[in-house]
A and B are shown apart, each in its own frame.
Chain A
Amino acid sequence: MSDEEQNVPSPFESWRGWYGLTVTMLAVYIFIFYIIRIAYQ
């Protein structure tokens, strides 16, 4: 079985989706941190 045949099922059925999700999560983190800064600073 090749590497590709052991693909992890992704929410978008492609690795491009995973990469998009990762970058989106980074944006979400930054947004949450920004809210935290506004809330407590």
Chain B
Amino acid sequence: MTALDWTVLAVSLIFIIAYGIYKSRGVATMDSYVLSNRDMRWWTVAISIMATQASAITFISTPGQGYADGMRFVQFYFGLPLAMVLLCITAVPFYRHLQVYTAYEFLEKQFDLKTRTLASFLFLIQRGLGAGLTIYAPSLILSLLLGWNLVLTNLLIGGLVIIYTTTGGARAVNWTQFHQMMIILTGMAAAFVTVIALLPDGISVNDALHLAGSQGKMNTVDFTWDWDNRYTLWSGLIGGFFLQLSYFGTDQSQVGRYLTGQSIAQTRLGLLTNGLLKIPMQFLILLLGVMVFAFYQFTMPPVFFNRLETERIYKSSYAADFVRLENDHAGLFKRQQEILHVWNVAKESGDEMRMEQQEANLRDINKQMAAVKEKAKDLIKAHDPSANTNDTNYIFLTFVLDYLPVGLVGLIIAAIFAASMSSTSAELNALASTTVVDIYRRMFRTDASDAHYVRVSKWATVFWGAFAVGFAELAGQLGSLIEAVNILGSLFYGTILGIFLLAFYWKKVGGTSAFTAAIIAEVIVFLCYFFTPISFLWYNVIGCALVVGLAWVIYFFRQKTTLFQG
């Protein structure tokens, strides 16, 4: 990075922190600290929701996914607008009319204290560890590519977030998220314009998309019903709907964002705007990856995008084999350029049949290049079985560092910092709110002053911030436990969603039935994890269905027992 890049990065970060602290003025009550006095307009709510969901890894890995796998990932978000509509109809009026601070407070109003406490604990475990990973994942990639110290990068991201989230609470989170989102979108737009400008003379955007499409990258919609295919129209509409419903309806890091809306109307409009903007935003980020793919058809890409692993293999006994693979790769690239030249001539003369012929040849070359890459991965694995051979997360940043002009590199790094900070700040705010409102104020100090609770909330924010940074520092040594943390989320999400569904639609089953069903469901989900081969993505569905089904069974059983006793 040059001095100009460092300047852009430093100015962006200082601006965010200063603005967050500036917006913290007058935050002295729990209403202002936890819910920003419920004074946010719909567009602030919408941007805050989007910034919370899109973490740094979204902006780093989504273009890479577009490069490697094409546009099909966009279907994952098709269920989002439908989930937003259902939440606007059900959850939003419920939460607003009951004037709750947290989603779990709602559970006590519908059921009882034990159900509320159970859901709060499940959230704190899951989100507390998740906040650590939100910091760790981008730090790891930045430290590997830029040679930064991982411990310091974690501390920098976490420390900056703690400063303004502690001082300003929800108000600082919402307003900084707005500016963070502007930095992110500016960075992404700049990268998009640059990749278009870097295409060779005579290759338009339309040509690039046509070329990428011929290589299977413009697979935007898949109408087939295929259980093995993760991203289809149906999995996006149905699976995505349930996933987004549980995330936006029951996760305090999201509920806390949209409860800051001025009114039901402002909150609803914010959620619907999120539902409408999210799909085009993800489409454009994936399209950026597809354009990077088109760019690398004309410019030789590295065999493997993770430089650290490449450098390690150069120093190993596999170096000669790896260089041989690089030579094969270069030979294939040369052949690729010859094909592209013929394709370009055919394009100029309007010879479509010849173009299609060359596109078929290009598919063949790309397949051979992919095979070379697989061999390179085998070498990396042979050298170090614990090495990460998935380089999707490194594709976009490698392009940025190698080809973006001075200044824009700093802007993209600032965008990644902004994305990481925006998600982390919402998570810390939600963790602190839940700790104080659902645990401390409800169970330990029920009659203290508002100022006392604000003070405790600030300490809770610092605690969870330190916890997240501490976990981020350890994450590197935990290895496969990182995957376990992701699985941990799925172990609890289904149960929490089940409890909330009961609270929204079947309140009559009562707190004891819901609580007992949740405990049994959680045990069964854990048994599934330990003793069955069921993929962890299904735990969400199993947990939710078990809670709802078992709660009804317990309810009827208790009814019968009461009747019998009566």
Which residues of chain A have a CB within 8 Å of any CB of chain B? 3-4, 6-8, 15, 18-19, 22-23, 25-26, 29-30, 33-34, 36-37, 39-41
Contacts and interface: CB of A to CB of B under 8 A. Distances in A.
Interface string B165-185: 000000000000000000000
A31 to B, nearest CB: 9
Contacts of A22: 81, 84-85, 272, 275-276
Contact of A40 (B84, B96, B209, B275): B209
Contacts of A19: 85, 88-89, 272
B74 interface: yes
B280 interface: yes
B264 interface: yes
Contacts, number: 77
Contact of B218 (A7, A25, A40): A40
A16 to B, nearest CB: 9
Interface of B: 42, 71, 74, 78, 81-82, 84-85, 88-89, 96, 209-210, 212-214, 216, 218-221, 233, 262-266, 268-269, 272, 275-276, 279-280, 283
A6 B85 contact: no
A8 B82 contact: no
Given A22-B85, A22-B275, A7 B265 contact: yes
B220 A3 contact: no
A35 B71 CA distance: 13
Contacts of A36: 71, 218, 220
A15 B84 CA distance: 13
Given A23-B82, A25-B276, A26-B81, A41 B219 contact: yes
Contact of B265 (A8, A25, A26, A29): A8
A30 B222 CA distance: 10
Contacts of B85: 19, 22-23
A7 B261 CA distance: 12
Contact of B268 (A15, A23, A25): A15
